[in-house]
Structure 1
């Protein structure tokens, strides 16, 4: 989650895999909460980070 060098490396394809998933999650958040504050991408980022933390545990 914090290794930007891995996201940038083209041989793993992590960025190509994670960006569509993040967009999909952002769409779900947008459907669930139409309020614009805080922005849905910020809420999605917090959810994404929380899910990574839970998976790490």
Structure 2
């Protein structure tokens, strides 16, 4: 069947399909810092993030 795919667009990075943990709103987690961007192939990146207060 048809699945919904969420696309995350972060300025300065390629647009990627999101395969991570989801929350209804970023208000639930507070701020985030991008710690590391890993190249996982021609069209894939992995973001390492840190939650901030």
> Under TM normalisation by the shorter chain, which class is it?
under 0.3
TM-score under structure 1 length normalisation: 0.20
Is the strand fraction higher in 1 or 2? 2
TM-score under structure 2 length normalisation: 0.20
